[in-house]
Amino acid sequence: MGKKKVSDNVKWEIVGLLRGGGKTQQEIVELVGVLQKFATSIKKKHESTGQVSDLRRSGRPRKLNFPEESYIFREIRKDFNLSYKKLADDFNSKFSNVKAIRRLLIKKGLESHIAI
């Protein structure tokens, strides 16, 4: 059995009921219909961050950000015969990796792009 996705509204309801002080945590769990552990973790998350939603996870930064991807798509739409190498050379930035441009275009459904 996998984890059940709980909306932010329900999480805020749990926090509101906990802060109200009128009910015990066990009563809130039964009322809302979540596990005791979930209510405890939401309480701790709210106390430490002031939020109930999941925080952004760390990880490897993207090679291309959204404006750079948009630029590549715009250039490809202008000239379908543009080679990956030419596109990488024209793309004057911190990045000129032909393989990454090719992977991006394949991911977006342009795998049949062939340049002369």
Please report, for the chain, the start and end positions of each structural domain, with discontinuous segments joined by +.
8-49, 66-107
Chunk the chain into consecutive blocks of 10 residues (it has 116) and report each block's average pLDDT, rounded to whole numbers: 76 89 86 89 90 83 82 83 78 68 82 57
What pLDDT does 2 receive? Answer: 52
pTM of the model: 0.49
Instruction: Name 93's Cβ contacts closer than 8 Å, sequence gap at least 6.
Output: 68
> Taking Cα atoms as reference points, which of 62, 51, 74 lies closest to residue 103?
62
